[in-house]
Each structure stands twice: as structure tokens, then as C-alpha cells.
A and B are shown apart, each in its own frame.
Chain A
Amino acid sequence: METQKLDEWLLELIRLTSCELAPDVERALCAARDAEQGRARSTLDWMLRNAQEARESSMPICQDTGSLIFYIDHGPDLDQEQMTQSFLRAVIKATERSLLRPNAVDPVSGKNTGNNLGVGAPVLHFHPGLAAGKLSVRLMLKGGGSENCGVQYALPDGSLQAGRDLNGVKRCVLDAALRAQGFGCAPGTLGVGIGGDRMTSFQESKEQFFRPLDDVNTDPILAAMEKELLESINQLEIGPMGFGGQSTVLGVKMGLRHRVPASYFVSVSYMCWAYRRRCLQVENGQAVYL
């Protein structure tokens, strides 16, 4: 794979993610708007118009372009060290072109690096395992306001009467949605990680955001719980931006990780309405964006 081509493809992936909402997200926002009235409807309408103007003018949908999280599946012919350099170059270039806001701040000195590179930034997860000549890059831009709405619970939780079972899990997710109100720029999507350790539980919750909004969980128990929670949370009448209304969340997506007997974590991540994630797939030297 030519380095120059990879650089270009990655830059286009970042542009697409920052400026164009994925079609499934836009469809879900449209459906939510059509079902609403009054200020909930006009709020969703503004969001959709903003998404359209961002797409048409190639400008970031939201000025908080968040943290960059990449998941890379590749074949044995690609070298991770070389690929890493391509990712860093693409991120620098995207920042120069104002497709990304400089978002990497040193927590000790308070300094912003100005180019989105820093310790642990961007986040790169490499997974070899594809056939030679193949590459798949998934990118998520996770905004700060929505990230602040994430919560992790350790079951049992007495204040929620949440035990170490699925009923307990449900209670946690409802509580997280209630606490978030509209602060994470509702209508959001909840990613839920059940089990794992403190780190992998949150990781699972984030990875759920790569699922299409309209898919059905392959695990029938989780599928039923996702549906029930989606309906329950939308009965809370928090609504778009917390102004009241039926559309509080667009989706609830759940995944599990095996846990040790002593721990039972439930992690809930919040993705805002500006739900930015896209995928680049390369095969036989041809790039396709999803």
C-alpha cells in the first residue's frame, strides 16, 4: 500500500467523520423530529439543518471535534509502525485545515499541543487478522460534553437497589440517562458495557457506538433489554437538549465482557446527537467509505 495514498484516505476519513453525519444517524434524527411537536421538533430541525449545512460546506458539525478514537483491522502486509506515522500526519493535516479543533491538552502543564497529538492521543487500536491487501479503519470523534455524562457502576449498588443481575443493570442504565438529562446534547445514544474490569467495561461501552443505530443485538436477551430501555428512557420526557419531549435517546446498545466473580461493573457511555463515526475500507488498492 502506498504511504501517500494511505495519508490521503485517512485525511478524507477524518473530514467525512467531522463534517458528515452517518446516514443511519441522520435517519434516526429525522424520524425523531417527525414524531415531535413544538420546541422539541424545532430543536431537532435545527440540528438537522446544521448537519446539512456542515455537509454542504465541509465544515465541522460541532466545534468540539472531540477525541479521535481509531480501530484498525489490517492484513499481515501492513506495518503498524509505518501506519501509525500515516495516522499522525493525517491528524496534523486535518487540524491545520480546521476539520479538527486542537483538542490535546496536557493535564499537568495546561498546554494545548495545537495539533491533536499528545500522550495517548489520538487513540489507535490495531488488530491484525485480515487477509493481505485488506484494511479497515473505523473512526469515532467523541465530544467532551457527552463524555462527561459517562458513568460506571459497581454492583451491588444500594442506593439504586441494583443487584448483580439484569434487573440491576437496567436500573443503572436508567439512572445514567436520568443524570445525563440534556447535558450531553440529547438526543444521545447510550453504549453499555456489562462486566469486564473498570477499563474494559468502559471500552466495551464505547465500542457499541460502532454498531449501526438500526441493528438488532445478536444476543436475544440483550436485544430485548435494549428495546425495553430505549422505550423506558424515552418516557422520561427529557427530550432534545433537555427541553422536554419524547426523543431523549436514539438508541441503547449493550455488550458484555466476562467478569471475575468478585466484580460486576456496568459502564454507560453517552454519545451526543452529533454522533460522528465513519469507516474506511480498502481492498485491492480501492478505498470505500461507509
Chain B
Amino acid sequence: MIRIDLPVAEEPIRKLKVGDEVGVYGVMITARDAAHKYLVEEDGAEVREVLQGGMIYHCGPVVRQSDAGWQFVAAGPTTSKREEPYEAEVIAQYGVRAVIGKGGMGERTLAACKEHGAVYLHAIGGLAVILARSVRKVREVHKLDEFGAPEAMWVIEVENFPAIVTMDSHGNSLHAEVLKNSTERAQKLLAQW
């Protein structure tokens, strides 16, 4: 397990290779469709500082509010592909070092990772309880009223948030590798049948 503390510089991110297991510590934000559209089309001043050398988590959490403030109850990753039209711009404009989600992303994001020194981290789908517990504190939330709880930008402090590098900053994608290998294997089987 490779430990990453946020904010992070380009060099340690460049060292990461596809298949590496990481544990993330520090402050990151959640963002889904509405937030990505906002970040690309508008200024995003309120999150610019935390995104510089920071990470974006594709997650629509189940949250609870008490006297002690907000708490993440369930917080597994959501499918990242929906953000493909925006992510390359977000990485370039805000200096984001990693995007966390599930299912991987496309060619444009992979190219942006290579150009700007960023990676795609795959969280484990369905890991709702563990990932919510790795969120030690909810610092603040932006656009809660406008976007609703699942789509709002939650600024969270995480501790040992587990994920796997599936797209690195050298143009490699574990998703592409697994797809290629499994397709070849399936074709071999089909040829025997």
C-alpha cells in the first residue's frame, strides 16, 4: 500500500503505475455531473485551493446531519464515465492530481493524465461502509441547495482511503489491458466451441 498525502506534488503521482494499491490521506472533494459542469463552465473559486494538487471523488454520498455536523453514512464510488466530457478540462484548469471513481474513464481523460501528471484511482464498488468510515470529517459543502445532497461538492478529510491505480500518467490503462486480454481469451474459447 502506497500512502499519498494531499495536497500532492506531480512527482509522486508520476511514480504511480497501473495496479498500485494506494491509501489516501487529506482533504478532497466529491463531484458528480452537476459539479463537473459547474467547474468547467464557471469559475469554481470556492474549491480552487483544495483542488490544486488535490483529488476529486465521484460519489453521491448518503449523509446525515446532527449537532456534531454532517456525517457520511454510505459513500461508495459511482460510475465515472458520465464525467468523461468534462474531466480533461477539470484536470487541466484546476491542477487536480487524481480522479477517484469506478469503471474507469476514456481516452481524453487518459491523455489529460499523461499531459498534466494525474492518475485515475479506482475505488471498490459497493464498499459503502468502509469508505464512509474513512471520511473522518466533513469540512464544508458547496452548492448543497442548488445541486442537492448527492450532487453537491462535499469537502472531506479522509484517512487511509483505499483505491487502486487503474490509469496512470504514462498512458497505461488497466481497463484497456484487462479488456484486451479477456477478449483474446474469450475468442480462443469460442474457437474451440
Q: Which residues of A contact B (CB under 8 A)?
A: 39, 42-43, 46-47, 49-50, 53-54, 57, 59-64, 98, 101, 143, 145, 160-161, 167, 170-171, 174-175, 178, 181-183, 185, 232, 235-239, 241-244, 272-274
Query: Given the complex of chains A and B, what is the CA–CA distance between A171 and B186 in angstroms?
Result: 9
**Chain B at the A interface: SS class:** mixed
**Most chain A CB atoms below 10 A, which of B73, B75, B127:** B127
Candidates B104, B126, B166, B185; contact of A236 at CB < 8 Å: B185
Asked whether B130 lies within 8 Å of A61 as measured between CB atoms, the reply is no
Candidates B74, B181, B193; contact of A237 at CB < 8 Å: B181
Q: Mark B124-140, 1 if CB is under 8 A from A, else 0.
A: 11111110010000000
Candidates A43, A160, A183; contact of B164 at CB < 8 Å: A43
Q: B79 at the A/B interface (Cβ < 8 Å)?
A: yes
Q: B182 at the A/B interface (Cβ < 8 Å)?
A: yes
Q: B21 at the A/B interface (Cβ < 8 Å)?
A: yes
Query: Given the complex of chains A and B, what is the CA–CA distance between A34 and B130 in angstroms?
Result: 21
Q: Mark B68-106, 1 if CB is under 8 A from A, else 0.
A: 000001111001000000000000000000000011100
- Whole-angstrom distance between the Cβ of B53 and the nearest chain A Cβ: 26
Query: Given the complex of chains A and B, what is the CA–CA distance between A167 and B182 in angstroms?
Result: 20
Write out the residue numbers on chain A whose beta carbons fall within 8 Å of the beta carbon of B45: none
Asked whether A242 lies within 8 Å of B175 as measured between CB atoms, the reply is yes
Write out the residue numbers on chain A whose beta carbons fall within 8 Å of the beta carbon of B181: 237, 244
Given contacts A63-B62, A181-B182, contact A171 B190 (CB under 8 A): yes
Write out the residue numbers on chain B whose beta carbons fall within 8 Å of the beta carbon of A239: 178
Candidates A63, A237, A238; contact of B128 at CB < 8 Å: A63
Asked whether B21 lies within 8 Å of A174 as measured between CB atoms, the reply is no
Given contacts A171-B190, A243-B166, A243-B174, contact A272 B179 (CB under 8 A): no
Asked whether B126 lies within 8 Å of A244 as measured between CB atoms, the reply is no
Write out the residue numbers on chain B whose beta carbons fall within 8 Å of the beta carbon of A181: 175, 178-179, 182
Asked whether B190 lies within 8 Å of A273 as measured between CB atoms, the reply is no
Write out the residue numbers on chain B whose beta carbons fall within 8 Å of the beta carbon of A242: 104, 174-175, 178
Asked whether A243 lies within 8 Å of B76 as measured between CB atoms, the reply is no
**Most chain B CB atoms below 10 A, which of A42, A50, A54, A59:** A50
Determine the residue in chain B with the shortest Cβ distance to A148. Answer: B79
Asked whether B182 lies within 8 Å of A59 as measured between CB atoms, the reply is no
Write out the residue numbers on chain A whose beta carbons fall within 8 Å of the beta carbon of B179: 181
- Whole-angstrom distance between the Cβ of B156 and the nearest chain A Cβ: 15
Query: Given the complex of chains A and B, what is the CA–CA distance between A237 and B177 in angstroms?
Result: 11
Across chains A and B, which 9 residue pairs bring their CB atoms closest together, nearest first? A63-B74, A185-B125, A62-B126, A236-B182, A274-B126, A63-B128, A53-B129, A50-B130, A178-B186
Determine the residue in chain A with the shortest Cβ distance to B130. Answer: A50
Write out the residue numbers on chain B whose beta carbons fall within 8 Å of the beta carbon of A101: 62, 74
Determine the residue in chain B with the shortest Cβ distance to A183. Answer: B103
Write out the residue numbers on chain A whose beta carbons fall within 8 Å of the beta carbon of B189: 174, 232, 235
Write out the residue numbers on chain B whose beta carbons fall within 8 Å of the beta carbon of A232: 189
Write out the residue numbers on chain A whose beta carbons fall within 8 Å of the beta carbon of B122: 241, 243
Asked whether A50 lies within 8 Å of B182 as measured between CB atoms, the reply is no
| Pairs A–B under 8 Å by Cβ, sample size 18 | A42-B21, A46-B124, A46-B162, A47-B124, A50-B126, A50-B127, A62-B76, A63-B75, A145-B79, A160-B190, A161-B190, A182-B178, A183-B79, A183-B103, A236-B186, A238-B178, A243-B19, A244-B178
Asked whether B190 lies within 8 Å of A174 as measured between CB atoms, the reply is yes
Given contacts A46-B127, A241-B102, contact A53 B133 (CB under 8 A): yes
Query: Given the complex of chains A and B, what is the CA–CA distance between A50 and B183 in angstroms?
Result: 31
Asked whether A63 lies within 8 Å of B175 as measured between CB atoms, the reply is no
Write out the residue numbers on chain A whose beta carbons fall within 8 Å of the beta carbon of B62: 60, 63, 98, 101
Q: B117 at the A/B interface (Cβ < 8 Å)?
A: no
